[in-house]
Structure 1
């Protein structure tokens, strides 16, 4: 049988339902006892369309934070920067 989830399950559990299902391959979504859609991983979609898989290395948020330059800014500088961003 296919890797299936129902619309009701997606409504109840959200995106986690699809993410869990993608571990086992494409996820078939069932609505009113009929197949409504199939969700593929990004890699599988790119393979099927013949597009190149991006060579971007995936990093965790912690890894990204640790690669950022360490700088010390004064509170006034941060406040000014935020005020400029909000003032659009």
Structure 2
């Protein structure tokens, strides 16, 4: 059986209709007998983006510090850019 829900059921039951099905993976929403959208869990969405999902119970600071460093600019370059912006 496919993991689906109709738009009418969502109107009737709200988020409960979606949350029940999200336990089994992505949920396809049907409107007028046609597939209209797909709902993913936050962890699945982050995985598709190539990011690490936020662990349960982890503080925002811990999560931020666990993210890979992606910047290529050094402190001197940033300071120089800021100094140019601040000269009026």
TM-score surpassing 0.5? yes
Instruction: Name structure 2 gaps, 5 residues minimum.
Output: 59-88
Q: Show structure 1 runs of 4+ deviating over 4 A.
A: none
Give the 5 Å matches for 1:1-88: 1-57=1-57
Instruction: Report the CA distance between 1:22 and its aligned residue.
Output: 0.2
Q: Provide the residue aligned with 1:75 in structure 2.
A: none
TM-score (norm: length of structure 2): 0.61
Instruction: Report the CA distance between 1:54 and its aligned residue.
Output: 1.7
The aligned length equals 58
